Structure 1
């Protein structure tokens, strides 16, 4: 898939109004400008943003339940997939990010795109995010699956859909996690990389204890301490 094909894929799979197209374009331009100041995405993907990041994020909506609802994106980084989800759907998205420069970037991005109220930044480590249940949990290049489950299963019910792009290591991570967790997961192919996989499913239970501190919930929801 090349950039023109990525745009065509969006047209074919989403009813994208002109205003949303303009915001997607504005997001890409803002990201490219910010990338000169900090390493938001790999430099090798700057000329492939629509394929490697926009469509790679948007494809998760095909596996999401009917919205709107509450969506949490762990390790939001440059805003993928969380900001793309907020732009293309009615989901309300919490963007969890612990790095100060990324937090600042995400907050300015939401303001630039007029997404306040549709998305919010939880500027803190995931261990400190207040416990509540979400309809969807996503994470892109955040942590290996066993660690990710330990850190974030407290946000999940048996109906919560987990959407986890895992690249070419998806099968191995799933096999490792199943040693400790009762998972109803499948590996779905990525439209942007035929060798990459997306872990999709629900968590039914576990036979291990969550890592220390994951139930703390001490920080204010959705915002970092100032």
Structure 2
């Protein structure tokens, strides 16, 4: 990743090694994709930082799992005034996320070992999610935790257009679909101005 600072590149490398170390015990990523972790997972999540541009405030990553994309975004914004809140209900994965934030010196990361719907609404400037839930359900989580005027960045697979149509039957929102640079026919949805139909 030649377009990032040396410190960011080193953190991303160290993060990849942590995933490789922990993955046999708690299955953070599919075993078949572990050999290609930098391209398949980290570069995929890095797209968010490029799309979001300069940000400040509170970023909430829903269903963080192994830290994709939330921890990767936190690495990219490590020197910026952004507080990251990673929400992961699996206690083992939450422990992994805390270990990563400590070992990678990410002082502005907080891990919430809780269910998304049980957390107090976060009033986040940014909400992100990757491979978490179908868009109609995901919109209810985003609506709960995104503040008025905030932006959601949702990484969706090749069926994103069908999911979008289903979501529009229940929700009103503005969106832009950004083509994924790493997965053919996938998209990153930039969503705001959410209201229930």
- State whether residues 65 and 161 of structure 1, in contact with CA within 8 Å, keep that contact through their aligned partners in structure 2: no
Q: Which residue in 2 is equivalent to 1:150?
A: 140
Match of 1:178 among 143, 165, 168: 168
- Residue 57 (structure 2) pairs with residue 69 (structure 1): yes
Match of 2:129 among 123, 139, 142: 139
- State whether residues 157 and 203 of structure 1, in contact with CA within 8 Å, keep that contact through their aligned partners in structure 2: no
Q: Which residue in 1 is equivalent to 2:76?
A: 88
- Residue 33 (structure 2) pairs with residue 45 (structure 1): yes
* Structure 1: runs of 5+ lacking an equivalent: 1-6, 208-226
Cα distance in 1 for partners of 2:146, 2:56 equals 17
Match of 2:91 among 100, 120, 126: 100
- State whether residues 181 and 203 of structure 1, in contact with CA within 8 Å, keep that contact through their aligned partners in structure 2: no
* Structure 2: runs of 5+ lacking an equivalent: none
1:182-217 CA deviation, whole Å, 9 max, x = no partner?
11112210000122111112133112xxxxxxxxxx
- State whether residues 182 and 206 of structure 1, in contact with CA within 8 Å, keep that contact through their aligned partners in structure 2: yes
Deviation (angstroms), 1:65: 5.5
Larger Rg: 1
- Residue 168 (structure 2) pairs with residue 206 (structure 1): no
Match of 2:66 among 78, 93, 101: 78
Deviation (angstroms), 1:23: 1.3
**What TM-score do the two structures reach when normalised by structure 1?**
0.81
* Superposition RMSD in Å: 1.4
- Residue 103 (structure 2) pairs with residue 112 (structure 1): yes
If each structure's strand is expressed as a fraction of its own residues, which one has the higher value? 2
Cα distance in 1 for partners of 2:166, 2:66 equals 28
Deviation (angstroms), 1:51: 1.2
Q: Which residue in 1 is equivalent to 2:9?
A: 21
Mark the CA change 1:22 to 1:66 in structure 2 (over 3 Å): closer, same or farther.
closer
Mark the CA change 1:155 to 1:45 in structure 2 (over 3 Å): closer, same or farther.
same
- Runs of 4 or more off by more than 6 Å in structure 1? none
Cα distance in 2 for partners of 1:109, 1:143 equals 24
- State whether residues 137 and 162 of structure 1, in contact with CA within 8 Å, keep that contact through their aligned partners in structure 2: yes
**What TM-score do the two structures reach when normalised by structure 2?**
0.93
